[in-house]
Structures are given as C-alpha cells and as structure tokens.
Amino acid sequence: MNAAPWIILFSPLIGAAMIVLATEKFKRISSYISVAAVAISFVLSVSVFRGEDGSAGFTWIDLGSFQVKIGYVINELTKLMLLVVSGVGLLIHIYSIGYMAEDKGRSRYFAGLSLFMFSMLGIVLANNFIMMFIFWELVGVSSYILIGHWFERSSAADAANKAFLVNRLGDFGFMLGILLVWNTTGSVMFDEIGQRWTSSATSPLVLTLAPLLIFCGAVGKSAQFPLHVWLPDAMEGPTPVSALIHAATMVAAGVFMLARTFFLFVPSVTALNVVLWIGLLTSLLAALMATQQDDIKRVLAYSTLSQLALMIAAMGLEAPQAGMFHLFTHASFKALLFLGAGSVIIGLHHEQNIWQMGGLRQKMPVTFWTFLVGTLALIGCPPFAGFWSKDGILAAALGHQNIPAFIAIACVTFLTAYYMSRLFVVTFFGETRSDTAAHAHESPMVMTIPLVLLAIPSTIAGFPAVVSIFYKVPEHEGAVAAVVVSSIAFLTGAISGFLLYREKAKDPIDIPLFENRFYIDQMYEVLVKWTQDLLANVSGFVDRWIIDGGFVRGTGRAAWGFGFALRFLQIGNLQAYAFLFGVGVVLLLYFILFGAS
C-alpha cells in the first residue's frame, strides 16, 4: 500500500500531538515542529502529484452491518487540492512565525494550525462520505479554536461560537443528505455511489432532495446566503488564520465537496438551479456589502464570500472544472492579499481601519507591490491568474445560455474591481492619515518572502501552458465575448474606484444598508430570540401545568380525595356499619349465586 497519502494525512496530527503534549512551553520549538510537519506533507504531495491515481483504505469501525471506512482516493481533483492545501499552508505557517512572534499563545496557535491541516487534508483525501463528514466536523472545530485564539476578547469568543453554530446548521442538512444517499444506494463510498446513483434513485424527490441537502453542508462551510453571517465575524482571529482557513482552504472545502460529489447534482436540474442562484445572490450581496466596509480584513472577507459564491455558481452552471480552477487561483491570490493585509496591520501595530492608513506605498514597498499583484489578480486583469479563471466562469454561463447569470457575474466583476481599487487607493496612496501610519516600516523577511512566493502563482497560474500541467480546463464557446465583457467591467470598476477615492480623507459615499450588511445579523438575532422565547414558554407551560399540576399534584389530590370520601364510611354509627355489612352480604350473595354479569 502506498504510504505517502497516510503520511501526508497524519504528519500534521503527530505535529499537533507533540506540541500539545511536550513542547507547550517552548514556543519556538512548537512553531518549528508545526512548519516541519506541513513541509513533509507538501513534499509528499508533490510526489503524489507526479504519481499514479489510486485508492485504498481500511475499516476503522466494524459493527457488522455498519462499517466506517477510512481511506483515500487519489485522482486529478485530489492531487490538485493536495498541492493547494499543503503549499499555501506551508507558506502561511512560515509567515506565522513572524506574525505571531510576540504572542503568548504561540504553541496553542501552532497546535491548532496543525490540527487544521490534518482535518483539511482528511477532507481532501476522503473516499467516502462518513470519513469526509468526520473531517468536516474536525475542520469546524479547528476553525473554532483558531478564531477564538485571543479568547480574552469577548468579540473573538462570540465570533468563534457563531462560526461553529452556523456551521452546525449546515452540517445538519449535510448529515441528512448523507443518510438519504446511504439509504438510497446502500453505500457511502464515492465511487460506488457514483455508479449506483442514477439507477437506485428513482423518485424525482430523492433525485432533487439528496443533492440539495448535501449542498446545505456547502452553504454552511463555504458561507453562502443565508449562512454567510459567520465569515466576516471570523476575522477576529489572527490574520494568518484568516488567510489559511477563511480564504484559501476551509471555505473552499464546500466547493471541493461539490466537485467531489458532482455526480449527485448532474441528474437534477432543480438542484443545479438552486445552487446557481444561491451562488449568484450571495456573490452580489457580498460585493455590495464590501463597498462600504472600513476594516481592511472585512473588505477581504466579503470579497472571499463573493468569489466563493462565483465558484458555487460555476458548479450550478455544470462547470465544476471552471469552479475548481477559480478555487485554485483564488487560493493563491486571496492568501496573498490577506498576508499582505497582515503585514500592513503588524506594521501599523494592529491598526485595521483603512481610513487610519494611507501613503504606505513608500513605507512598505514589498507589501505594496505584492498587494498590487494580488489586487490585479482578484479583479481579473490580464495576464494575472484571476482573469483566466473568472473568464472560465463567464464563458460557462454563456455556454449554458444563461444570460441573467452572465449579467450577474459581470456586475460582480464590476463591483469587485470597484471595492478593491477603493481599498488599495485608500490604504497605500495619498497622505498618511494617522501617526501609526507615519511610523510604519516594512515587515521582516520571514513575512515578506511568503508574500513574494505567493505572488508568483498569482501571476502565472492562469496561463494555459501552466494550467495544462496541473489540470484540464475544457474550452467553452463564447470565450471571446466573455473576455470583452469582463474587461469592460473590471476597467470601469477600477477606474471609478480610483477616481472616487483618490486623495480623500474620509469615505465620500455613505450607504447604511450596505455598511450594516443588509441588517441580516439583526434579523437573525430577533428570529433566534423569538424562537427561544416561544420554546421556553411552551416548555414552561407543559412543565408547570401538565407535568407538575396534572401528574404530580393531581396524583396527590386524587389520593387525598379518595381518603376523604372513604372517611365517611367509618364514623362510629353502629347501624351504618350494619347497613354496609348488609349491602356487602347482598352483593356477595348476588354475585356468587347468580354469577357475575
């Protein structure tokens, strides 16, 4: 059996165990252990990439009719995703050494990061639903641990709770979907389900319902509407965490899962449409919300939401390859942008409001240039990577003859360019708007080298020559029209953003609806409170009146009542006794002599 996939999977786990058990106090050693574990995984991922496809596994729990198998499947999708996860992960681990240099909880942080790598690699390698679900939940736990790393801040602790609970909602639907698929096909292995699905799923209800339920998991994990509310709050965690988990890998797990189980979606047009329109809706909403945010990490978070939604929409357009291509490029440039933002934040001593920044072009040159590369890649400027992948999605929309989707994606492209240029101009150009900005300096090399390394794939990963090494992206018709429209969209967006925000000291446009994120959080709060109050009242009523009053006190009262009634039989009246005696005798005679009726 090929040992490489197992080593890839378990090396970060062993690293986490070592940190937790042994090197808690030795923070530097913990960080090195963690980086080493990920490096091992990365090197082996490269070798797996150049190796053969395959699949293997063992049975972990065997209860006769119920078996949980742990195994891996290596195919094109797995190889690509392994590279992305371990590669980006390695760079972020190195960056973290610099970013968290003065943090007291460094060991805990690196242990959490290693646990996360273990869980994410488990999702990538999984060859059956149950294993994927186990690691799915583990990823949620790691995210909770890492978001709440600075748990002394109540906002961080609340954000961690929110992330976990909202994820749980999605996971509930996911679990129902897994059970439904299992019940229909009798198996949880992806290859077996793939063979049996169209023949065993005969009722149209199951054909539509199963993929939709599975999609719930993606809605939760990849933060689609209506479960998107946790991702912006997750920015409370350290910036490398935001880069790794909430930009490049964990949130991409939903898209990955959809690609892995795409055979479930193909037969059902309804499911595909639902996926498409949730993706488009989330994308537009997030892009609108991003145009009014003042926190550098929040803008990037909404941008992540928007781009993820584009990948999901690509799935809905029956173009999983386009979606995975965009995931691949997005992982590199979004991680780059987040790490760049982290560099800015550290340089300004943890200042995150963009209106307190400005003029950093001269003060932090490496950060400036790499951030520029990332921005250009994100908005889809050729020849950077984002241009190719976003075009792939636009072309898929045209190829599917879905004009509303095409227009929506074009609008999103415009908005993306607008808010990213707003962010870039306000942060790096103009005069410095605060003292901390005036005293900023470039970050240490341990942080800038990963930035440069990430800028390389952001630049070249889109070229067809490069892509064909890793991946096959099918041709779509109408690719030319897509190029034209997307170019017009991003150019207008970028130019309008640049002109509006140049040389400004505060935000000239103020749209409260976008700034307050369409008030969705407030609506949820009211809804949750209302539901809880209702449940509490019903339970209280049942407890007080039915259980306590009816059963408990009722039994007591009934016993007392009986006693009270029977008391009248014994009041000392001799003749009453004789009377009752006589009644008893008569009844007894009647029943004995003439039989009970």
* Rounded Cα distance, 415 and 369, in Å: 22
Find the shortest distance in angstroms from Cβ 591 to another protein: 11
Pick the closest to residue 419 from 354, 464, 367 (CA basis): 354
Q: From its phi and psi, is residue 73 left (phi > 0), alpha (psi between -120 and 50) or beta?
A: beta
The CA-CA-CA angle for residues 51, 54, 60, to 5°, reads 125
Q: What are phi and psi of 516, to 5 degrees?
A: -90, 20
* Rounded Cα distance, 410 and 567, in Å: 89
Find the shortest distance in angstroms from Cβ 559 to another protein: 21
Q: Where are the alpha helices (DSSP H) in 365-478?
A: 365-379, 385-399, 403-428, 435-438, 445-460, 464-470
Find the shortest distance in angstroms from Cβ 575 to another protein: 6
Find the shortest distance in angstroms from Cβ 589 to another protein: 5
Find the shortest distance in angstroms from Cβ 592 to another protein: 10
Q: Which is nearer to another protein, 555 or 573 (CB)?
A: 573
Q: Which is nearer to another protein, 509 or 586 (CB)?
A: 586
Which tokens belong to 333? 């440039």
Find the shortest distance in angstroms from Cβ 560 to another protein: 17
* Rounded Cα distance, 203 and 102, in Å: 59
Q: Which is nearer to another protein, 565 or 571 (CB)?
A: 571
| Footprint on this chain of another protein (rule: CB under 8 A) | 571-576, 578-579, 582-583, 585-586, 589-590, 593-594
Find the shortest distance in angstroms from Cβ 590 to another protein: 6
Q: Which is nearer to another protein, 445 or 586 (CB)?
A: 586
Q: Which is nearer to another protein, 484 or 589 (CB)?
A: 589
Q: Which is nearer to another protein, 58 or 594 (CB)?
A: 594
Residues 227 and 220: beta-carbon distance below 8 Å: yes
Find the shortest distance in angstroms from Cβ 558 to another protein: 23
Q: Which is nearer to another protein, 530 or 591 (CB)?
A: 591
Cα 309 to Cα 11, 212, 302, 315, 518, distances in angstroms:
32, 16, 11, 10, 17
Q: Which is nearer to another protein, 353 or 573 (CB)?
A: 573
Pick the closest to residue 343 from 255, 192, 239, 437 (CA basis): 239
* Rounded Cα distance, 531 and 87, in Å: 44
Which tokens belong to 568? 């009248």
Residues 85 and 126: beta-carbon distance below 8 Å: no
* Rounded Cα distance, 143 and 119, in Å: 10
The CA-CA-CA angle for residues 172, 178, 182, to 5°, reads 150
Find the shortest distance in angstroms from Cβ 571 to another protein: 5
Q: Which is nearer to another protein, 65 or 575 (CB)?
A: 575
Find the shortest distance in angstroms from Cβ 580 to another protein: 9
* Rounded Cα distance, 194 and 121, in Å: 22
Q: Which is nearer to another protein, 558 or 576 (CB)?
A: 576
